[in-house]
Amino acid sequence: MVAATDSTADGLQYLRDFTQRLLREAELPNRQVTVMHRDIFKRADISWRDGQDMAQLLGTLTKVQLRALVDELRDDNQGDDD
């Protein structure tokens, strides 16, 4: 049972790290939440506040929320390439 919990925690940490990377690639602030994140977070149905620490916010998100945010960041990045 402990191994399952560890792998879940590892998976969540991987998603958090991956999200941070996508934020950098999108040239969005990745240390602090700003109004520049408003649309992406809204589409991913994530509550946020301006000035919030990004790592702290990402640490509170569920796997479903992190995946939704990753999807939004990917969609947003692909839209820029068109």
Mind listing the pLDDT tens digit for each residue in 11-66?
899 999 999 999 999 999 999 999 999 999 999 999 999 999 999 999 999 999 99
DSSP string of 15-49, one letter each residue = HHHHHHHHHHHTT--SSB--GGGHHHHHHTT----
Size of the chain, expressed as the number of residues it contains: 82
Angstrom distance (rounded) from CA 41 to CA 76? 12
pLDDT at 4 over 60: no
pLDDT at 6 over 80: no
Angstrom distance (rounded) from CA 22 to CA 12? 15
